[in-house]
Structure 1
């Protein structure tokens, strides 16, 4: 399963891990994805989705429908 948020589209990032001796080695930063049940008032049902905690806060603030519209606009779909 891909580690991608269903709402915001957040994906893993890559970069260098740096030690105190300034050694460089590759690493990944994973998004904080969790399985959550979200109530969708427009459909009158629960939807189970894998979303980042950033997206969960967004849904809490502006609502599910607005968050999905904002996310699809950012992803260009």
Structure 2
């Protein structure tokens, strides 16, 4: 499974790990992803999303129904 937030579409970033001697080796910066069950009162069912902390804040601010309509129905 890919490490992508289903709401914000954020992905892992790549960068360098730096030692004290400033040697650079590749590394990945992972998102703060969680598998979260959210209740949608309009559909009267739970929806499971792989969502980042930022995506969860968006859901808390606008509500799950508006977020699903805006972010997940665009295809």
| TM bin (shorter chain) | 0.7 to 0.9
Q: How does 1:1-77 map to 2 (within 5 A)?
A: 1-68=1-68, 69=70, 71=71, 77=75
Distance 1:18 1:42 in 2: 49
TM-score, normalised with respect to structure 2: 0.82
Q: Which one is further off, 29-38 or 57-66? A: 57-66
TM-score, normalised with respect to structure 1: 0.80
Distance 1:54 1:39 in 2: 18
Distance 2:17 2:65 in 1: 38
Count of residues paired in the alignment: 74
Tell me, which stretches of 5 or more residues in structure 2 are unaligned?
A: none
Report the Cα offset of residue 65 of structure 1.
Answer: 3.1
**4+ runs deviating over 4 angstroms:** none
